[in-house]
Amino acid sequence: MKAYIFPGQGSQYMGMGKDLYNFSNLAKKLFQLSDDILGFHMKNIMFNGSMEVLKKTKYTQLAIYIYSVIKAKILDNFNPDMVAGHSLGELSALTAINVFSFEDGLILVDKRASLMQEICEYIHGGMAVIFGLEDEIIEKVCKEDNGIVVPSNYNSPGQLVISGEEKSLKRVCQSLKKIGAKRILRLPVHGAFHSPIMEPAKQKLSKFIEKISFKDSQCPIYQNVTAKSVTKSNDIKKNLIEQLTSPVKWKQLIENMIDNGAVSFIEVGPGNILQGITKNIFNKIYKK
């Protein structure tokens, strides 16, 4: 069975999308449609913008969504047995399997990114990848801190991302280093995504999501919040709303996909970040 997986923030690069634009007339139409809907030249930011501009949450999320969905639509034989998306990538996956339209997805991503960027500007937060410690140890240290810092992305065995207020994040990182973390890598983001800090964004976004027309999924989608497969539109919508403040259970959902028959994973988006993470899950858990 084939599983198609869609990346989130961190997979962007300068010049992204030019290859798709030059390859396909459908890609040209969708890039232009994106510019028309958004009211600014997103393709110019993607094709010619600096990395400094592209890494801003408002533009990063749009760029990755547009790229990923266009790539799915121009792929030969895109007929997945199951799909999943990492954080933002979940919206790309849902569009690719026609749960909602490209246009609605684009407006939703724009709203999501703007709300998250808004919080980043008045709450100083961040994220860090912790390598080489058991999840339970990291969870315990986060819980013991008196600030806001939580596990946010369960990527693969020995790799967990934490999010929180800057002061709390620094304290927890120092504690984890002392007790044996092999490596700690700060992510190039200015927000504590998938943490309680995003609650105001979640409340505003939920009202917007409720207005969008969702269809049942044509194949199982394994969502970040539960790591389990769903197909019903109401379940998909509920999980999507909860996603902003809940951890991404990527390790768990990949395990579930494998247990349910996935034997190949095709990444649809810029870069191949998820391929590496998924291969790590295969190697460390299933010894294949």
Beta bridge partners of 4: 83, 266
* Measured distance CA(108)–CA(96) in Å, rounded: 14
Long-range CB pairs of 206-209, under 8 A, 24+ apart, other chains included = 206/241, 208/108, 208/111, 209/108, 209/237, 209/240, 209/241
**Element (H or E) spanning 221, and its range?**
strand 221-222
**Element (H or E) spanning 147, and its range?**
none
Beta bridge partners of 161: 129, 153
194 in catalytic set:
yes
* Measured distance CA(83)–CA(62) in Å, rounded: 20
Structure tokens that stand for 78 in this block: 């895109």
In sign, the C-alpha dihedral spanning 257, 259, 262, 266 is positive
* Measured distance CA(52)–CA(63) in Å, rounded: 14
Helix (H, G, I), strand (E, B) or coil at 58: helix
From 87, 152, 195, 229, the catalytic residue? 87
Q: What are phi and psi of 273, to 5 degrees?
A: -60, -45
From 68, 86, 163, 194, the catalytic residue? 194
Strands, sheet with 229-230, edge to edge from the N-terminal-most edge strand: 229-230, 221-222, 82-85, 2-6, 264-267
Structure tokens that stand for 167 in this block: 């002061």
213 in catalytic set:
no
| Of 250, 237, 232, 205, residue with least CA distance to 7 | 250
Catalytic residues: 87, 194
